[in-house]
Amino acid sequence: MATTKAEGVEQEALRVPFRLSMEYEYALGAHAERFFGELRDHGRILGVRCPSCHRVYVPPRPVCGICYAETREWVPVSDEGSLVGCTVVELPFIDPMTGERRPVPYGFAMVRLDGADTAMYHFLEETDPKKIYVGQRVKAVFCEQRTGSLLDIQNFRTLEAR
Amino acid sequence: MGRKVGIVATGQTKHGPKRLDVNLRELITEVVTRALDDAGLRTEDVDAVFLGNMEPFEGFMFPELWSVEGWGGYLKPSVKFNTGGTVGTTTTMAAYYYVAAGLYDTVLAVGFEKQSDGHTQAAITTVGDPVWERTMMAGAVGNFAVMASTYIHESGVTPEQAAKVAVKARRNACNNEYAHLQMPNLTVEEVLASQILAHPIRKLDMCPQSDGAVAMVIAEESRARKLAPRPAWIRAVATAHEQQYMGDSPKRLAIMRSQIAASQKVYKAVGITNPRKELDVAEIYEVATYAEMAMYENLGFCERGHGGKLIDEGVTSMTGELPVNPSGGVLSTNPIGATAMIRVAEAALQVMGKAGKRQVPNVRTALATGYGGNAWTDALILASD
Amino acid sequence: MSATHWSVRQKIEIPFQYTAGPAVTRFLQGLTSKKIVTSVCSKCGWRGVPPLSFCGRCWQPVTEFRELSGTGQLLSYSSSGGRTFGLIHLDGADSSLVHWVVADGGPLKIGSPVEPVWQPERSASILDIEHFRVMAG
């Protein structure tokens, strides 16, 4: 039976460090451009509706994945919705996009806006895990200065207690 | 469909947090040597090699290029797969397709990863959509925490039930000489006292990050019968993908559409209508304790909402009606490029009767599953005939 | 953002630390002592730089290591941005090494004889060799 260790050599394990820094520039595409334009300029959230199954998708996309039908109908959705899932993150980890640790604890959830059939990840204002729950009503907190990104919504504020 | 194909031999490395004694190429050599020795074959007997690895974790592209000497592949064909958590099952299935189609007779499938060479959470960020998801992501832990909260709401499972899953996994791992986390004395209390990562997921609810590799020799029927007294025949395979964004299937752990679809497909292919009764063992890809219970439901082992009941009643323990993850599962060992293939290899060991201390008696039919990225699923049925 | 279309810029940084493994560790540590080490397969005789710990063609471990003189010949080269890198076939090895090349004592030509120029401070890195210089003759 073959082995892989070099015989008779005592040595410490050597690690070779290498920091890979990758820069990207992503084209948004027409649907995202319209969504973020609306968000930035009017503080409004838009989805698209599938002509076949009538699901309303946020994020909007050119095709309904289930029906493979083109989605051309734009519908406004509410800035209020419900939590489909939620957590408070306690573990600090380095955000690889900023190189900084996110300050913990922070609330993080899957939010389904009224009028949409799909949900999206976003931050919660609340950081006490006992004060958030699945089904809770929430409302988007918009930034005063908006640039056309999901962070134009600062986070979601809970509207009720259990 | 196509020729009958069987798994005839396996090899694994001792999985652990850091294998500092070997580089990635040497890790592959180690596991390939073990699988070939297990089959009584040499590299000349292998027609092609199928490699599974998640390149971002080591930042070393094209393992099919630089690992060639490690699997005896000079001037041989190979295909490399990179499908997230499902890498191992995708690679297995590809090997199966090529052999079933008659293109190759004897192939090697290898899954490998050295999580310690890179930074797993940083690399996992690239899974998220750059425009819609990446800024929000909180790693695999954040993802599973949110999904678990939905599952808890749907099913009412408790942290105690989740802790029982953690205990089952790390104790089962003690019968597995290759497992990373072996905790013979782990208790529910210890799990419940472990550090909260993101509510409700505690440290001991979550899988580790490991360095490790697995390899299998897969052959067409007549070769397989010569190479092993009891091959693990690959009887059915299925893959099902999800929609593109994480919120498109908002309850995607509790009601994992892809897992339901893929498992239903393989059950139908082999005539299984009651998986809990008709499967003898299952090796499933459970990233976290809550995920295992949700998977019991999605895979049809019990009714909706009864995942916690199954663990309470010991149905999925080593002595239960349907042992789940006798190997210790992903909760005990997780070198991502290998993890899903370890499920297949462990299921194969069970069918071949070579699972040693973790052998479930009289295994004729086994299920192996893979879970990847945005909740897509691979499912395989292995059987003794 | 262009006048007509919108794009999003992002940077992702991943820190790696590659495990060298026993043979490459030996090579890198050799560099600290200004030595270039090759592996020698006892069966096929393949002399590898960087060294292999296992010969994939003979399917057996490699246990012999040899020190090289460090001189060699330039197999090919390419210049860009004021620097030149080349493929160097070291005397006594079968595989070739990529490194920086400086036309110091002679012209850059296929076949030019080269030798390593060492850093004054070395740390078990391939850059312990500062570059290979073309020798006179």
Is the separation of the CB atoms in B59 and C15 below 8 Å? no
Q: What is the DSSP string of C63-108?
A: -EEEEE-S-EEEEEEEEETTEEEEEEEETT-SSEEEEEEE-SSS--
What pairs with residue B384 in β-bridges?
Answer: none
The helices-and-strands tally (H runs, E runs) of chain B is 15, 11
| Measured distance CA(B262)–CA(C73) in Å, rounded | 58
Distance from the Cα of A32 to chain C's closest Cα (Å) equals: 9
Give me the residue from B129, B198, B244 closest to A90, CB to CB: B198
| Per-residue pLDDT, B298 | 98
Query: Taking Cα atoms as reference points, which of B53, C95, B31, C103 lies closest to residue A4?
Result: B31
Distance from the Cα of C79 to chain A's closest Cα (Å) equals: 24
| Measured distance CA(A27)–CA(B131) in Å, rounded | 9
B29 touches chain C (CB under 8 A): yes
Distance from the Cα of C67 to chain B's closest Cα (Å) equals: 22
Is the separation of the CB atoms in C16 and A1 below 8 Å? no
| Per-residue pLDDT, C2 | 52
Q: For residue A11, list chain C residues with Cβ-Cβ distance below 8 A.
A: 22, 25-26, 29
The mean predicted confidence, pLDDT, of chain C is: 93
The number of residues making up chain C comes to 137
Return the structure tokens found at B105: 């007779």
pLDDT bin (cut points 50, 70, 90) of residue B127 is confident
| Measured distance CA(C101)–CA(C103) in Å, rounded | 7
Query: Taking Cα atoms as reference points, which of B243, B182, B214 lies closest to residue B346?
Result: B214
Q: Map chain A to HEC letters.
A: CCCCCCCCCCCCCCEEEEEEEEEEEEECCHHHHHHHHHHHHHCCEEEEECCCCCCEECCCCCEECCCCEECCEEEEECCEEEEEEEEEECCCCECCCCCCECCCCEEEEEEEECCCCCCEEEEECCCCHHHCCCCCEEEEEECCCCCCCHHHEEEEEECCCC
What's the pLDDT tens digit per position in B171-209? Answer: 999 999 999 999 999 999 999 999 999 999 999 999 999
| Per-residue pLDDT, C14 | 87
Q: For residue A97, list chain C residues with Cβ-Cβ distance below 8 A.
A: 10-12
Left, alpha or beta for A94 (phi > 0: left; psi -120 to 50: alpha)?
beta
* Domain enclosing residue C110, as ranges: 21-134
- How many domains are contained in chain C? 1
Report the chain C residue with the minimal C-alpha distance to residue A23: C11
The mean predicted confidence, pLDDT, of chain A is: 90
Q: Which of B18, B26, B114 to mutate to test the interface with C (most CBs of C within 10 A)?
A: B26
pLDDT higher than threshold 60 for residue C99: yes
Q: For residue C12, list chain B residues with Cβ-Cβ distance below 8 A.
A: 122, 125-126
Residues of chain A scoring pLDDT < 70: 1-12, 96
Return the structure tokens found at A70: 């083109």
| Per-residue pLDDT, A92 | 86
The number of residues making up chain A comes to 162
Does the residue C53 lie in any domain? yes
Q: Average pLDDT for residues C56-85, to the nearest whole number?
A: 95
pLDDT higher than threshold 70 for residue B308: yes
Q: Average pLDDT for residues B330-344, to the nearest whole number?
A: 97
C1 touches chain B (CB under 8 A): no
| Per-residue pLDDT, A93 | 77
Is the separation of the CB atoms in B48 and B98 below 8 Å? yes
Give the ipTM.
0.91
Return the structure tokens found at A36: 């973020």
Distance from the Cα of B71 to chain A's closest Cα (Å) equals: 13
The distance of Cα A158 from the centroid of its chain, to the nearest Å, equals: 18
| Per-residue pLDDT, C104 | 87
Percent of chain B with pLDDT over 90: 87
Backbone angles phi, psi at B213, to 5 degrees: -150, 160
Count of C-beta atoms within a 10 Å radius of residue C111: 8
Are B251 and A15 an interchain contact pair (Cβ–Cβ within 8 Å)? no
pLDDT bin (cut points 50, 70, 90) of residue C3 is low
Domains, chain B, ordered by start: 5-120+209-227 (3.40.47.10)
The sign of the dihedral angle between the CA atoms of B224, B225, B230, B235 is: positive
C55 touches chain B (CB under 8 A): yes
Return the structure tokens found at C71: 């001189």
What's the pLDDT tens digit per position in B215-256? Answer: 999 999 999 999 999 999 999 999 999 998 999 998 989 999
Left, alpha or beta for A119 (phi > 0: left; psi -120 to 50: alpha)?
beta
Query: Taking Cα atoms as reference points, which of B53, B254, B243 lies closest to residue B144?
Result: B254
Q: Average pLDDT for residues C39-51, to the nearest whole number?
A: 95
